[in-house]
Amino acid sequence: MMNSEDPLEPRTDINKDADSQSDSMSCDLAIDPGVGRENEAGNRDLGEIFSQALKIYRHNPLIIVPSLIPMAALLLGMMILVSYVGLMVIFSHHGFLERSFLASIFLFGVLMLVLIFLAEGASIEMIRQASMGKAVDLSTAWKSTRHNLEPLVLTSILAGIMIALGYALFFIPGLIMSFAFYFIAQVVMIDGRSGLEALKKSYRFVEANLSDSIIVVLASLALSAVLHSVPIIGPLLGLISLPYIYALATLLYIDRSRVREGSIKMQRDVDIS
């Protein structure tokens, strides 16, 4: 006869408790994307996503590093451009300096664009690592971002052109596309999609999670606007808030995509059976 009070079972529970306590005390925050309050559809509570984004940022301050690189490049570039202006004033009769100055501005703009995409991609990868309970690794994040840099840049430029045309023609289409393409960086970095395929997937994601997506986008815009409005230190506060804003979008995308993929898999299993 099987004994209902098997002495091995409590010992297993104790080991699990000990492991969980050990993980919680480690320097790297381990967060399971599937743990937490869920609604009937299996989606995590949106408030918990906001809370988890803050936890990830607080326990992994290294996430701020990618966002600092474009800012450092901007400051360095401004110093160089100021020096260029000084040379142009001194040697104003040399047309070469004027042409080289315009070319430098163009190249600097391209460099800043690439650095911004690199920073966003690396931040998303580090947030994904933390959400899976892994240690945040800046080196791995840079490698992953470099691998996806071309599709990330091209997809973002394509989305930017379409959004600009939408605003120029009727405004409302541009506003709609701004929301619909908000998650293209997550699609590229997490799912490996690019181009029109990435734009379509971002659109379908927003369409399937419309209310949650709107809340996250508006909350991110509001937070950025409020922090940037603070006198003197506003730009610094806005910079510090970037990893949290990236985390909100990334965690929402990971969670809702997980639920959607699970539903599709279950449907396929039912169809096969």
What predicted TM-score, i.e. pTM, was given to this entire model? 0.76
pLDDT at 123 over 50: yes
- Tell me which of 35-49, 138-152, 229-243 is least confident: 35-49
- Return the pLDDT at 14: 40
What is the average per-residue pLDDT within 47-63?
94
Determine the length of the chain: 273
Residue 28 has pLDDT above 50, yes or no: no
The residues facing 44 across adjacent strands are 38
**Residue 130 is which amino acid?**
A
CA distance 59 to 127: 11
CA 249 to CA 7: how far, in whole Å? 46
3-class SS of residue 38: strand
Is pLDDT at 96 greater than 90 in this prediction?
no
The pLDDT of residue 259: 61
Q: Quote the pLDDT of residue 43.
A: 77
Q: Residue 231: what residue type?
A: P
| Mean pLDDT rounded to a whole number for the chain | 80
How far apart CA 2 and CA 132 sit, in angstroms, is 38
pLDDT tens by residue, 129-171: 999 988 899 999 999 999 999 999 999 999 999 999 999 988 9
pLDDT of residue 220: 96
- Asked whether the predicted pLDDT for residue 94 surpasses 70, the reply is no
DSSP state of 63: G
- Pick the range with the lowest mean pLDDT from 12-16, 168-172, 231-235: 12-16
Q: Per-residue pLDDT for 3 more than 60?
A: no
The answer to whether the beta carbons of residues 185 and 121 sit under 8 Å apart is yes
Q: Are 68 and 128 in contact (CB under 8 A)?
A: no
Cα radius of gyration rounded to whole Å, the chain = 23
Instruction: Confirm if 67 and 243 have CB atoms less than 8 A apart.
Output: yes
Per DSSP, helices labelled H in 26-64 are 46-59
As a whole-number percent, the residues of the chain with pLDDT over 90 amount to 56
**Cα gap 204→191, rounded to integer Å:** 14
* Contact between residue 42 and residue 262 where contact means Cβ atoms under 8 Å apart: yes
For 22-39, what is the mean pLDDT? 46
Among the residues of 91-194, which ranges form H helices?
95-131, 138-147, 149-169, 172-180, 184-186
133 phi-psi bin (left φ>0, alpha ψ -120 to 50, beta other):
left
Over residues 209-214, the mean pLDDT reads: 94
Q: Which residues pair with 38 in a beta bridge?
A: 44
pLDDT in tens, 160-200: 999 999 999 889 999 999 999 999 999 999 999 999 999 99
81 alpha carbon, distance to own chain's centre: 31
